[in-house]
Amino acid sequence: MPELQRLRPGHAPAVLAFEQANRAFFAASVPDRGDAFFAGYPARHAALLAEQAAGTCHFHVLVESGEILGRFNLLDATAGTAELGFRLAEKATGRGLATTTVHQLFGLCRTTYGLTTLRARAAVRNAASRAVLSRTGFVETGEAVELSGERGVAFVRVLG
């Protein structure tokens, strides 16, 4: 069974491998990160850990047998609110892992991070992410959003 882990320094090589292996898959539903993301990933990973240490973001990876299957992040955590972002490896889709992991995050939000409300955004063409958000109780806000030049949908979820 995959395990949700808080991002740590030792995850860097596996996260980069995950992003590289799934680049084309992700680009089919979200804007591509670009070559600079991959070339500069060690510095990017260090920056993520610094944000996490400051308490402004909480980064997680879904790990099975040492391999990263997904990333689940809580961004811009302030005043009890954060933005959820996630991506799952192509080979891990269709098993309910994203839905299960988002539900796990709700518990961490309440007990560990003091969050009461989550926001999320998904590209209109990203039906899978929009479905996960709907299945986990997020509701569309009606707010017009743009994600790297693409139309998106905004969601909110109040944690009970």
At residue 144, does pLDDT exceed 90? no
Residue 24, CA distances (Å) to 46, 69, 122, 156 in order: 25, 15, 18, 28
Question: Hey, CA dihedral for 44, 76, 17, 127, is it positive or negative?
Answer: negative
Pick from 23, 17, 14: nearest CA to 90: 23
pTM (whole model) above 0.85: yes
Q: Tell me the per-residue pLDDT of 42-74, one tens digit each, with 9 for 90 and over.
A: 999 999 999 999 999 999 999 999 999 999 999
- Give residue 84's pLDDT: 98
Whose tokens are 């569309």? That residue is 140
Q: In terms of residue numbers, what domain contains 19?
A: 3-158
> Which stretch, 68-72, 126-130, 150-154, has highest mean pLDDT?
68-72
Counted domains in the chain: 1
What is the chain's mean pLDDT, rounded? 95
pLDDT at 28 over 90: no
Confidence of residue 29 (pLDDT cuts 50, 70, 90): confident
- Provide the H-helix boundaries in 22-114: 23-27, 35-39, 41-54, 97-111
Band of the pLDDT at 160, cuts 50, 70, 90?
A: confident
- The enclosing domain of 132 has a CATH number of 3.40.630.30
